[in-house]
Structure formats: structure tokens, C-alpha cells
Amino acid sequence: MTVVGEAHLMSTPGSAATQLIALAAGALLVTSVLMVWRRELSAQVRLLTVQGVSLAVLAVTIGLSGPASARAELLVVAALVLALRAWLLPWVVGRRLRAGVEAGDAAREDGARLNPTASLVVVALLATVAYLVSRPISEAVAAGSGAAVSGPAAFAVPVGVCMVLIGFLLLVGRRRAMSQLIGFLVLDNGIATVAFLTAAGVPFAVELGVSSDVLLVVLILAVLSRRIHAQVGSTTLDSMTELRD
């Protein structure tokens, strides 16, 4: 890692757009880390909302700083992101969570496979890995090669990669079905972040397709978790080990 490369990546720290992107990326990273730390499921849903808003801010900023021709489409995409990731998905998850608590399910993620301290250490390691592995992408984006044209957004790419890894960590470490769902949403937010940052905004058709996919997955998993609860009396996945061979 050379100092010259660092300076190049942070080339225009002054502009308002870059500041906003940095803020949104920071919020995304912090909310992800907090999700690893918190055990309260309702708190995690609130964090998911914050993450959705941050992602929408990121989309709006990239849309406004991009070329005028694509501005309208990117603003529609940002509105879609806001509606889906900041409102609809957290609402579906939250509703299912409240229904679960009323039916006698615990509101906390108990017995996760990693304790909070250990998970935070792992997160730190994952963040390092994310920064290491996204250097080539960042450099390509900053140089404006290929399809990537959003120079100022390049420095935030590692945040997206880091979110993907953190989402995966949540999937691996947690036992409750709802926690799995939240982990999946973090992972998907990470993918969306990387997409926005590297492709200078995502075409409307692509974002619509991805969004409807995610919505379907969440709805199916929400229904599934209710069925699991009805079948085995809790929503931990430990008792579901019969499907093998």
C-alpha cells in the first residue's frame, strides 16, 4: 500500500458531495457494527431503518453528483431504496417480531455462537480484510476505468464489502430465524452499497429487480419463521437438523 495511492483515493475531500458520501458510508458501517453488538431484536430493526435511510442518502448524493441525463432515474431509484429498505422491509420484520413476542417467543438473541466482545474483534478483522481486498476495486473506480465513473465515491467501496462480510457473520453466528433474516438484509444492503459506489448509480430496472427479489425472500422467510414457531415452539434453528444426507 503506497502513500501515493492513498492520496489519490482521497483526492477531493472538500466537496459537499464527498462529505455526504462519507457521512452515509460511515453511518452504514456504524449501524452494521452496532447490529453485531446489540442483542435486542427490536433495536436491530431500528438500526436496519437507519441503514436504509443512509443507503437512500448515498443514492441521492451519487445521483445528484452524476451526469444530468441520468439524474431523474437515479432519484427514482433512491426513492425506491428509501421506500423498500428504510420502511417496508424493517416494517415486515418488526411486525413479525412483535407477533412472535406476543406468541411467547423471546425478544432477544440468546445463545449466539459468539459473545459480543469476540464478535467485535472478528468484525475488526473482517473490516481489515475488506479494506485489503477492495483496494483493486477502489483504484479502478478512482481511475474511472471501465463502467465506473464516480471518482469521488471510490474511497467508500470497502464499507460495502465490509457490510457484506458482517452480514455473513450475523448469518453464521446467530441462531434465531429472525436474526438470520436481519443478517441477510445487512448482507444485501452491503451488496447494494457496492453497486451504487462502483457503477455510479444503478439503473432503475436492475434495482427494481433486486428489490423485488429481496422483498420476496423476506416475506418467505417471515412466513417460514412463523411456521417454524408453530412446529417446534421456538424459532431457533438448532432443532432443524433433519434435512441432511
Partner 1 sequence: MTALAGGLLAQGALATLAVLVAVSARGRARNLLAGVACAALSAAGAVSGALALSGATVTLRMATALPGAELVLAPDRLGGLLMLLVGSVGFLASVYAIGYVHGASASRTQWAALALFLLGMQLVPAAGDVVAFLLAWELMAAASTVLVLAEQAHRPAARQAAVWYAVMTHLSFVLLLAGFAALSATGGTTSFAGLAGTDAARPGATAAFVLLVVGFAAKAGVAPLHVWLPRAHPEAPSHASALMSAAMVSLGAYGILLVGIRLLPGGPTWWSVLLTALGAGSAVHGILHAGVATDLKRLLAYSTSENLGLVVAAIGLTMLLRTHHVPGAAGAALVAALLLLVSHAAFKSTLFLGAGAVLRATGERDLDRMGGLAHAMPWTAATFGVGSLGAAALPVTGGFVAEWTLLQALIHGVRPADRVVAVVVPLTLGLIALTAGLALVTFVKAFGIAFLARARSVTALAATEAPPSMRAAMVLGAVGVLALGVLPGPVAAAAASAIGVDGVRVAGLGGVELTGVGAVLSPAALVGLGAVVALPALALVLVVARRRPATTDVLGWGCGGVRTSPRMQYNATSYAEPVMRIFDDALQPRRDVVVTHVGESAYLAERVRFAQHHDDVVEVRLYRPLVAAADALADRARRVQNGSVNRYLAFSFTALVVVLLVVVA
Binding stretches for partner 1 (CB under 8 A) = 113, 126, 129, 132-133, 135-136, 165, 168-169, 171-175, 180, 237-238, 240-245
> In the bound complex, what is the minimum distance in angstroms from residue 164's beta carbon to partner 1?
8
Compute the distance between CA of residue 139 and CA of residue 157 in angstroms, rounded to an integer.
10
Place of cell 471501465: 146
Residue closer to partner 1 (CB basis): 7 or 243 = 243
Compute the distance between CA of residue 48 and CA of residue 123 in angstroms, rounded to an integer.
18
Q: Extract the C-alpha cell encoding 140.
A: 479502478
One-letter amino acid at 18 equals T
Residue closer to partner 1 (CB basis): 92 or 237 = 237
Residue closer to partner 1 (CB basis): 69 or 115 = 115
> In the bound complex, what is the minimum distance in angstroms from residue 17's beta carbon to partner 1?
29
Q: Extract the C-alpha cell encoding 88.
A: 417496508
Compute the distance between CA of residue 5 and CA of residue 144 in angstroms, rounded to an integer.
14
Compute the distance between CA of residue 189 and CA of residue 87 in angstroms, rounded to an integer.
14
> In the bound complex, what is the minimum distance in angstroms from residue 103's beta carbon to partner 1?
22
> In the bound complex, what is the minimum distance in angstroms from residue 161's beta carbon to partner 1?
8
Residue closer to partner 1 (CB basis): 68 or 243 = 243
Neighbours of 191 (CB within 10 A): 16
> In the bound complex, what is the minimum distance in angstroms from residue 237's beta carbon to partner 1?
5
